[in-house]
């Protein structure tokens, strides 16, 4: 196991980040530390146990200590309502250093190598996700929409960037950017504007590591692409004909005069044959006008056999140079973008993290702060699956995610564990497994 990324080391680094959180209670009752409020909320997300804190309070009454203290290092955990009140004024950006620390540790230990793809780039997928919706509850940071019948729905959404890679089932969460009303703006905030803020805020941290940004057609606009290039990012974006009329007029012209490059590749499968047909062109204008950004465009059509049904069809715009040698890898990266939906959003919504559940809305930042803690809990588990052989052994043995977390829930309810290592060893012994050296 990498000592830098062991569970106890992650918790220790998390404590250092939490020690720098702003204290908004000057002159007020400070019976509970803000750090302990954060750790209490985080423990719920990490264990995927909504009743975790109530269980641990009962354990503390009988045993004098609880797993909130022994596993997560909390000293005195507030009740649920106190936790919400303590966290509501804190902007989620104060947790960004934890995402950055984990990213840096993954890079230093070489754990990011398996996520590098075309041209040794890390592929960061951008996408928006809703995580709260109500017709009654709302706060100053809510977005809203009013239906034709006059009913207004209030909601929260965010950009949740993740590192994805073709053939890699894991994704690595990065700092979110929240879609919230912006000071000095009359229009509501939007996904593309939030993505631009994320680029401006985090380019210094990630761009030097060779990063390609990916997104759907919503992002494939000149201002976004120019900002990405200016901040030293690459881009690889879905590029649809209906929103890029000028670009596709150039493609049709190149096709007509025979200058559009085309390549077909046969891929044997266990059930037969798939044919990948590529078309591509370099240096075509993204939009009309003299100052149009020139991009490189490619299309892929996957068919079953030479004349069979179309299995997949998509088109992309990128700043990567496209050739017969590179087009397959570029398209493969472009297709990996959808892992943000399958391995990130779907897991967070439907696999125990309950992303869309209202854990607490608050008046300022509570909803977004709790979402950020949920993303960090997800990230902790991904990191452990990369570095902790005991953790990985248990996840493979208890193959269903639900089974693993059910066992965590049951064990931590009844037994006080002195450490995360103690918990893993107990499970390995109980399952009569051979522990890794």
Q: What is the pLDDT along the chain (437 residues), one digit of tens a residue?
A: 556 789 999 999 999 999 999 988 765 557 889 999 999 999 999 999 999 999 999 999 999 999 999 999 999 999 999 999 999 999 999 999 999 999 999 999 999 999 999 999 999 999 999 998 899 998 888 888 898 898 999 989 999 999 999 999 999 999 999 999 876 556 778 999 999 999 999 999 999 999 999 999 999 999 999 999 999 999 999 999 999 999 999 999 999 999 999 999 998 988 889 999 999 999 999 999 999 999 999 999 999 987 889 999 999 999 999 999 999 999 999 999 998 888 888 888 877 788 888 888 999 999 999 999 999 999 999 999 999 999 999 999 997 889 999 999 999 999 999 999 999 999 999 999 998 88
Contact by Cβ (8 Å): 340, 172: no
Domain that holds residue 303: 238-326
Strands (E) in 222-356, as ranges, are 234-238, 261-269, 272-285, 294-304, 310-318
Residue 251 forms part of a structural domain = yes
Question: Looking at the domain assignment, is residue 318 inside a domain?
Answer: yes
Angle between helices 191-206 and 222-230 in degrees, nearest 10: 10
Strands 234-238 and 211-215 turn out to be parallel
Q: Is residue 280 part of a domain?
A: yes
Q: Tell me which residue of 95, 94, 117, 98 sits closest to 106, measured CA to CA.
A: 98
Q: How far apart are CA 68 and CA 87, in angstroms?
A: 18
Q: What is the pLDDT, as a whole number, of residue 27?
A: 58
* Contact by Cβ (8 Å): 381, 401: no
Residue 53 makes CB contacts below 8 A (sequence gap 6+) with 40, 43, 44, 68, 77, 79, 80, 83
Q: How far apart are CA 18 and CA 101, in angstroms?
A: 13
Whole-angstrom Cα distance, residue 49 to residue 410? Answer: 10
Enter the tokens of residue 32. Answer: 């509970």
* H-state helical runs in 48-147: 52-63, 67-72, 80-87, 96-108
Round to the nearest angstrom and report the end-to-end CA distance of the chain.
10
Determine, yes or no, domain membership for 190.
no
pLDDT recorded at residue 175 = 97
**149: part of which helix (H) or strand (E)?**
none
Strand partners, 235: 213
Asked if residue 437 belongs to a domain, the reply is no
CA–chain centroid gap for 316, Å, is 22
Burial of 202 (0-12, 13-18, 19+ CB in 10 A): buried
Nearest to 331 by CA among 350, 349, 343, 317: 317
Q: How many structural domains compose the chain?
A: 1
Contacts of residue 197, Cβ cutoff 8 Å, sequence gap at least 6: 177
- 392 assigned to some structural domain: no
Q: What are phi and psi of 419, to 5 degrees?
A: -165, 170
Answer yes or no: are the C-beta atoms of 277 and 262 closer than 8 Å.
yes
**Residues 6 or more apart from 436 whose CB is under 8 A from it?**
389, 390, 393
- Over its C-alpha atoms, the chain yields an Rg (Å, rounded) of 24
**Among candidate residues 219, 204, 181, the one with its CA nearest the CA of residue 340:** 219
Residue 248 lies in a domain: yes
Whether residue 301 lies inside any domain: the answer is yes
- Please report which residue ranges of 263-365 form alpha helices under DSSP H: 327-336, 339, 346-350
Cβ-count burial of 101 within 10 angstroms (0-12 exposed, 13-18 middle, 19+ buried)?
middle
């Amino acid at each position: 196991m990498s000592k830098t990324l062991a569970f106890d080391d992650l918790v220790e680094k998390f404590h250092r980040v939490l020690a720098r959180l702003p204290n908004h209670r000057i002159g007020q009752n400070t019976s509970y530390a803000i750090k302990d409020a954060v750790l209490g909320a985080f423990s719920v997300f990490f264990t995927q146990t909504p009743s975790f804190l109530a269980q641990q309070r009962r354990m503390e009454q009988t045993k004098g200590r609880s797993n909130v203290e022994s596993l997560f290092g909390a000293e005195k955990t507030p009740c649920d309502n106190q936790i919400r009140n303590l966290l509501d004024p804190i902007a989620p950006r104060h947790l960004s250093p934890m995402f950055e620390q984990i990213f840096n540790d993954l890079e230093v230990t070489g754990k990011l190598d398996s996520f590098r793809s075309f041209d040794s780039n890390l592929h960061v997928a951008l996408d928006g996700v809703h995580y709260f919706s109500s017709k009654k509850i709302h706060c100053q940071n809510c977005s809203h929409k009013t239906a034709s019948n006059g009913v207004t729905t209030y909601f929260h959404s965010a950009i949740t960037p993740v590192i994805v890679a073709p053939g890699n089932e894991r994704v690595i969460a990065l700092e979110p950017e929240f879609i919230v009303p912006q000071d000095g703006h009359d229009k509501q905030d939007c996904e593309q504007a939030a993505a631009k803020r994320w680029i401006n805020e985090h380019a210094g941290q990630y761009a030097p590591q060779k990063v390609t940004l990916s997104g759907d057609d919503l992002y494939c606009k000149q201002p976004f692409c120019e900002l990405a290039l200016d901040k030293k990012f690459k881009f690889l974006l879905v590029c649809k004909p209906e929103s890029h009329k000028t670009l596709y007029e150039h493609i049709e012209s190149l096709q007509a005069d025979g200058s559009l490059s085309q390549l077909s590749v046969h891929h044997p499968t266990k059930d037969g044959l798939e044919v990948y047909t590529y078309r591509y062109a370099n240096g075509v204008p993204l939009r009309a006008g003299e100052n149009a950004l020139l991009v490189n465009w490619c299309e892929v059509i996957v068919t079953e056999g030479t004349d069979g049904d179309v299995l997949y069809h998509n088109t992309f715009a990128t700043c990567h140079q496209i050739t017969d040698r590179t087009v397959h890898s570029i398209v493969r990266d472009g297709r990996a973008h959808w892992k943000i939906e399958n391995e990130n959003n779907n897991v967070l919504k439907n696999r125990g993290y309950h992303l869309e559940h209202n854990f607490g809305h608050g008046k300022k930042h509570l909803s977004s702060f709790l979402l950020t803690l949920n993303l960090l809990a997800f990230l902790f588990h991904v990191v452990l699956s990369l570095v902790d052989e005991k953790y990985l052994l248990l996840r493979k043995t208890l193959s269903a995610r639900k089974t693993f977390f059910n066992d965590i829930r049951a064990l931590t309810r009844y037994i006080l564990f002195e450490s995360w290592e103690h918990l893993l060893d107990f499970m390995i012994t109980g399952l009569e497994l051979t522990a890794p050296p």
